[in-house]
Structure 1
Amino acid sequence: MTSESILLVARDTRNAREVLGEHADRLRRRGVVDDVEVATYESEPVRELREQFERVAADTVYAVPMCAAHTHETTDDVPAALSYVPGNVRYCEPLGGSPAVTEVIEARGEELLPASEDVSLILVGFGSSAKPYHRQTVDYHAARLREQSAYREVLPCYLLQNPAVECVRYNATGSRSVAVPLFLSRTEATERRIPAELELDRGGIEYADPLGEHPRITDAVHAEVAKQRALAPVDAATDASFETRLTRSRRPVATDGEGRR
């Protein structure tokens, strides 16, 4: 009988270990797989995670990047680090694209300002000048929230691209606004940069917590693992998923001192 494990992978931000630990505990209690592990890194996934990954004993490992959308790290460095896992790696999509996240965003906003015709909902993403993934993710949730919520409007904004966070205050037409950061855990961006650029001290904008330990995030991880199980026969063929192709093509190279032994 083959064994299965879930590997939750994330950058080690201010409370990332606590957040990932809570989701891991829930998944263990559900008996989704035989084991659930947490892996965090500061800046170099290959160097920092190699030894931990070499010790993963399961036959099949579902590696879940615990972030809103793909970054350079999740498309290059993390897949390279996963090459050290002895078993069969099923690399999952970042959890931010799950429909369950839409519910968490709405819940975070409702905790501070109930949806109404005079309240604007602001979605704050990290953004990227080179990759489309963050914008795609934020736009996806914004479109769903415009359809299913009672907010006057839903406005996306970003730290690294337009529309910029510092401008969204002037774009909102509601008399009050609530901003939800589309981040899993607390970071320097959520604690300092975003509040400063939103000018929270001026009033008029409530600022919600990141997605964090919300139970629906655990559901999102669970659903992604179930999806990967269902897709396994398809990915064995030539039309593999984007994430599967990443784990097949990304490898540490000898020139950076991290090549496979």
Structure 2
Amino acid sequence: MRGMRSLILIGHGSHLNGESAVAVYRYADLIRERGLYDEVIEGYWKEEPSLRQVLKTTSSTDVTVIPMFISEGYFTEVVIPRELGLGHQGPVPAGGVARVIGGRTVRYTLPYGVHPSMTDVILARAREALPDYDPQDTALIVLGHGTTRNENSNKIVYHNAQLIRDAGHFAQVEALFLDEDPKVGTWPDVITAPRVVVVPFFASEGWHTLETIPEDMGLTGDVTVFADHAGGPQTVYYAKPVGTHPTVADVILHLAEEASGSLAQDGDVERGHEHAWQALLDRARRGLRLGELLITPDSGVYEIRHTLDEGRPSSELRTLVTPEGVRDSIRHDDGGDHRPVHTLRNLPRGWRAVLSEPDLRRTLHYVYPAVVEETYAHTCHTLRATPWPTTARRQTGIYAKVQKATPEQVEHVAGDICKSCLRTRLWAGEKLAHTFFDGVPGGIPCAEACTVIVAEVREEVSGKRGQAGGHSH
């Protein structure tokens, strides 16, 4: 009998755009349905559970982490390993990296985008955009993001373009980029074929694929005709990004199974995690208020709803019956704004969920990621707070400048943001005597400044905070 296994999919996420996380959720759902792992968890750089929290949310001692990125680069080689505490920086070897962290065996792999089977995903996207393409008169543009920050970023785009070129699938194959040369706007000078298929080598649908690329190329939709091209009329067929193709789920699973040491699966239940959840369920069986949630036991199932909807007839509320249904319903507040920090007091109202005990666990993980684990650790006096100077020193790249922030600047930013949060800032020296385990609904610890604080402190130091377009979340 195989041991217990957890799979974590790491996405970038966004403080501003809720669509950024959708692809990661979708693949987690697809892989979860296959039942190959005991749990599949999402984690993010800019959302919750954060990279600093996500390992705490796994129930197994055997964890495989897949970076849901399209290429190797700054995030996969520096940010993610640093935030997870892997003790590794730089290129990740083919078999990945394995470390023991807090009693868990953690395997960290290459990003899915560099897997050899992604060439087939590019071709599949091209065929979707133009099913009857003719290799004699059709060109392919493999479109990457590109960056000057890490030379590995463009390597996989060039590699795939060369493989497809060598196979003779198209009359012409070119690699173009948004943020480095050769830029996508030069395509009319580069492509001579009358038909052109553009496949974005991007992880998800978002601002770049929906706005930037069409604008830079002059596209008006999925199919755009350029009648006045110097070499004769050209028709451009714009494909969906490779990162949203269903077969990426297979690529992720291949990576996980190929991970260093993955054949020696002997994972067990992570005891601290299990103790936390058993303590939570013991409280929930008697009824519990947690943050803005009211949890009520009822004949073997649980109803959860917003505390401000207490007493409202059930007929007036939307009824949700799955953890994923709750997850998707709370990603935006009542005003339609994205909620990257789940403990802000902006949980939307107007719904109720009726759930089994296992589904209650997963739902609470979605509503308040890492809150149960961190609060229980706090009650056991084992939660370590990370003071702001330590968080600041860990930042690299464009965020390194937060190290220059004065205590007054940090407090000014935190005062704006944290006043709307349920958490108590242990990282700023505040004390939390009682938690929701003691019957105080808003008794939730905050062990470390969140990425929204870090991003806003960067804006504050730069003198851009509050300016139009200056917000980074």
Q: TM-score range by the shorter chain?
A: 0.7 to 0.9
CA offset at residue 41 of structure 1? Answer: 3.4
SS across alignment from 1:179: strand
> Counterparts of 1:230 and 1:49 in 2: how far apart (Å)?
22
Judge conservation of contact 1:108–1:208 (CA < 8 Å) in 2: yes
Q: For residues 37 and 48 of structure 1, do their structure 2 counterparts lie closer, same or farther at Cα, with a shift above 3 Å needed?
A: closer
- AA aligned opposite 1:196: E
Structure 1: 5+ residue runs without aligned partners?
A: 234-251
Distance 1:232 1:2, change over 3 A: closer
Query: CA separation of 1:198/1:8 partners in 2, compared to 1, >3 Å: closer, same or farther?
Result: same
CA distance in 2, matches of 1:141, 1:230: 28
Matched-pair contact (CA < 8 Å) for 1:181–1:210: yes
The residue number in structure 1 matching 2:123 is: 106
User: Any idea what the Cα deviations from partners look like across 1:125-160, whole Å, max 9, x if unmatched?
Assistant: 011113122221101111121133521111101111
Tell me, in whole angstroms, the C-alpha distance in 1 between the residues paired with 2:208 and 2:181. Answer: 17
Q: TM-score, normalised by structure 2?
A: 0.47
Greater share of helix residues, 1 or 2? 1
Number of matched residues?
241
Determine the C-alpha separation between the residues in 2 that align with 1:181 and 1:103.
14
Which residue is equivalent to 1:153? 172
Match of 1:132 in 2: 151
**Equivalent residue number for residue 238 of structure 1:** none
Spell out, residue by residue over 1:205-255, the C-alpha distance to the aligned partner (whole angstroms, 9 max, x if none): 22111124423211111111111145789xxxxxxxxxxxxxxxxxx9973
Alignment of 1:25-174 (within 5 A): 25-42=29-46, 48-83=50-85, 86=102, 87-113=104-130, 114-174=133-193
Task: Supply the distance in 2 between the matched residues of 1:228 and 1:217 (Cα, whole angstroms).
Answer: 17
Q: Secondary structure at the match of 1:103?
A: helix
DSSP 3-state at the match of 1:49: coil
Deviation at residue 195 of structure 1 after TM alignment: 1.0
Aligned partner of residue 187 in structure 2, secondary structure: helix
1:97-122 superposed Cα distances (whole Å, 9 cap, x missing partner): 11221111111111122242111100
Alpha-carbon distance, 1:164 to partner? 0.8
Give the secondary structure class of the aligned counterpart of 1:50.
coil
Q: Where does the alignment leave 5 or more consecutive residues of structure 2 unmatched? A: 87-100, 226-234, 265-385, 395-446, 449-473
Match among 226, 234, 256 for residue 225 of structure 1: 256
Q: Amino acid of the residue matched to residue 42 of structure 1?
A: K
User: What SS class does the counterpart of residue 242 from structure 2 fall into?
Assistant: coil
Q: Please tell me the root mean square deviation across aligned C-alpha atoms, in Å.
A: 2.8
Compare CA radii of gyration and give the structure with the larger one.
2
Map of 1:244 onto structure 2: none
Question: Could you tell me how far 1:80 is from its partner in structure 2?
Answer: 1.9
**SS in structure 2 opposite 1:64?**
strand
After superposing the two structures, state which structure 1 stretch, 7-16 or 87-96, moved more: 7-16
Say if 2:70 and 2:243, in contact at 8 Å, map to a contact too: no
Residues 1:257 and 1:150: Cα distance change in structure 2 (over 3 Å) = closer
> Which secondary structure state, in structure 1, belongs to the residue aligned with residue 22 of structure 2?
helix
TM-score by length of 1: 0.81
Higher relative contact order (CA 8 A, sep 6+): 1
Contact 1:200 1:206 survives alignment (8 Å):
no
- The runs of at least 4 consecutive aligned structure 1 residues that moved more than 4 Å come to 229-233, 258-261
Mean Cα displacement is larger for which, 25-34 or 128-137? 25-34
